[in-house]
Structure 1
Amino acid sequence: MAKMGRGLGFAPEHDIAVSYIERSRGYYLAMGYPKSYDWAHMAEVPFTLLDKPLSEASLTVITTASLIEPDKGNQGPGAPMNPTASFQQVYSAPTDNPPELGISHLHYDRQHAKVADQRSFMPLPALQEVAAAGRIGAVAPRFHGVPTRYSHRLSLKKDGPELLVRLREDTVDAAILIAI
């Protein structure tokens, strides 16, 4: 069976994805923490069906990309890790004239994730095209950024509720999360 699969152009058996969960657990233990990182895993996901057709729905994007802040050093494509530019607050910005975004947070694969094309992590032009074609009702007036956190408490008790308030202010029906 393996030979048949290899003949179909599948990757070789040694070519496997990086296990970020195991990698992070090992990292925490190596750093001297008393236990490994406790990954969030919900037994039940609070999924809600849309109550209207997608062609009538208002959509937005939620991203972990950050607003470029020139006074905080290099944040553009290929920039090295930059803790100074790592943002810690939920933010919102207009979808009709979005600002330049960067990837300044500490925990993403800089070797393999080349982020030179902002559309790869902020697909507002594509979303606006499908709205113009009538496939979605509208693009919400704002998109939103959320910090990447290793704190479950901050994500669930601070960032999540704040983001929900903003989504409700914009009467958003659905959001696309693009986590980097």
Structure 2
Amino acid sequence: MQGNTVIIVEHDRDVIKVADHLVDVGPLAGIHGGEIMFEGSYEGLLASQTLTGLHLHALPAFKDTLRPSTGFYTIENANTNNLKNVSVSIPKNVLTVVTGVAGSGKSSLIHQEFMSHYPEAVVIDQKQLHTSSRSNLMTYTGIFDKIRTVFAKANNVDKALFFIQLQRSMPRM
């Protein structure tokens, strides 16, 4: 699995709006969920009659053009937890958002089904990274190192002053 394929299980409207591809799981939660209600673009979701589409209908689209996919990751006949014989094609090298009501099967689709088919994938979710309370998306992706360098250069100091680990050991002023 190479490239920039990103799959997010998300409810946030702003994240949903910027997705290149959407998968709406529903129609409801629990035993009334687990079906793929919609697959496609943000505009298509807005035009759909799904609960998610109806909820987002009044929101304007965020971007005009979508990145092209370079193929698909497929899952066929998934039946984990609330999923009911679900088949879905997730495009490669684009941002795909998996959305739907709570309990509809989104996490089962990605964390269990997708990961069992594509174990080389890396899932980044809202859980704490590693076991350190200081770990976050910025430290995990390496962005924090770049920020430390910029801060150090702007203040003409060593970037070691901006290590998170030093916060506990530095004397209070």
TM range (shorter): under 0.3
Where relative contact order (Cα < 8 A, 6+ residues apart) is larger, the structure is 1
Q: Which has the higher strand share?
A: 2
